Amino acid sequence: MSVLRQVLLLCLLALIPAVATGLFHPKRPSWQADALKPGEVLLSIVMGWKEKVLWVDARSQKAYDQEHIPGAVLLNEDAWDDLLGGVLQRWVPGQTVIVYCDDRQCRSSHGVARRLREAGVEPVYVLKGGWSTWQSAKK
């Protein structure tokens, strides 16, 4: 019985620094897989909104031409000046705008969303997971 207590005590003592490291280490992993960055939204949330949203595709012209979310308009930073007018014509003040790009690692959508907000378009969100999330949901 004494040996079992000692083993449990050693395990408990080892667990304390392990938990502390997991909670306070500057390079700790994310414990939540779907943690949203500020301004992001999940597809499941968007699909639950009853209002009609304006989808903005922040990918390249080539990717947009191949396939895009139905009704989406193209707006990327490379052709911002040429494309912004078309987006503003489609947008109704107060209408929710959802920006997406290729996948989880794509930062273009965040840049486009930021610039839209600066242009006075609100509310604007970035689709978490981007185009790949939309593709997965279609299956």
Q: How far apart are CA 79 and CA 60, in angstroms?
A: 9
| Three-state DSSP class for residue 82 | helix
Phi, psi of 43 (to 5 degrees): -60, -40
Single pTM value for the model: 0.75
| Three-state DSSP class for residue 17 | helix
pLDDT per residue as tens digits for the range 23-62: 676 666 555 556 788 899 999 999 998 789 999 999 999 9
Domains of the chain: 40-138 (3.40.250.10)
pLDDT of amino acid 43: 94
pLDDT above 60 for 10:
yes
pLDDT per residue as tens digits for the range 93-125: 999 999 999 876 678 999 999 999 999 999 999
pLDDT of amino acid 104: 64
